[in-house]
Chains A and B, each alone.
Chain A
């Protein structure tokens, strides 16, 4: 972060305060709607963290956000706003599902690895397009990635309907055979190896950003492309690479969902993981590791929210609203300072000149 940024510790404290504040205001709203605040929040807490099943649900809900949040956070480092994680996730999911299905002759380990790589590759390809358009033509990545989201969602639906459809009433691929799935981590739950892959991805990208020449150059491009150019950095190449890496990670979000949770590709399966990933990345700020707690926060609100609806009879909408408040309070200052700081160039220090 720049001078105006918060340190890691105070940042964490700030986020915790913001979550509390959001829950407080949420409590007022829940109370005003005629529901018991105590019931709501106890169910939220229990539903998110109380017991193996709840914890497992939270992890399952957090896993795709871990990837999409990481994807967006990584692109931030290069000054790129990847709004296209959603589309990258769809192409990754379909590619992995199709590859995993078509490789039934290979040993499971190989099958899974190849399918994952293929999904990441598809996401990278989907990220390459806006990266290249930005580097060559200066087309703004926000516009192009949003457009490509529509293309990806429609294209995958089209492909499934016409080429990879499971005979039956529903538009979806065939169920993956057990050998093509990501192994379960905790038997009896849907917690798969995906979450481990996600944490490894965080570790890897954190290393790239903080401890590699590539990361140095990507950050230089993100923070001051003119200085990067002056320093001999190939700005265009780094832009394309950052976008591809971001796309690959978002693609993996889809792969892991398809291979570890759904066991198939279903059109429109994502409830907006790619977009929630933006919120996760904004909360995580400049730190790759902070993506993990940020993803868990949203995963917990989701799983806790479900059980609140189920057991306390409180509509999901109210819990979604609490989620919205969390985003608002946690992310607003960061987002604000990011937008302000994005192109703020201080002229020669005005006040100091005497």
Chain B
């Protein structure tokens, strides 16, 4: 299973104010708040941790967890500027984050399983058009990389909103996560069908 989350930095500056009273207490645990308070760049650290939580939550939902809205139930810790861990209930996810001037992007997996990720910029502003464009990107690339006929490839969402890939009306055993925010979008696909294989291989 894989979860991802992208944060468009300009869009976030426009639409969210992390310094709003009580905002931090609603989304971060005491431990996370102390990571932010000693950070050189609190803005980036806030949204770095947030993207970790979002990506981990997506794996939690894929694993059959029930939806909830209580960000402090998800706790992050950082191993390095790129790598971190996120705990939700009894599950611990490994995360990987890349940050540049335009976006913050995190992926979460159960055990650092290998993933293919593609990040791209959106030109459309309309949300529906953006969504169609992203799906088309996923389908085109996936068809190309796996020598499949794109016309027979389809993305469907499960009841809990998890995207799944279908080929010739059959569900493919491929874990995928799709994210978009502002002008950026990304998808991540688990490289191997079975992540257990990965777990047995030391890194």
Binding between chains A and B: no
| A interface residues, Cβ below 8 angstroms from B | none
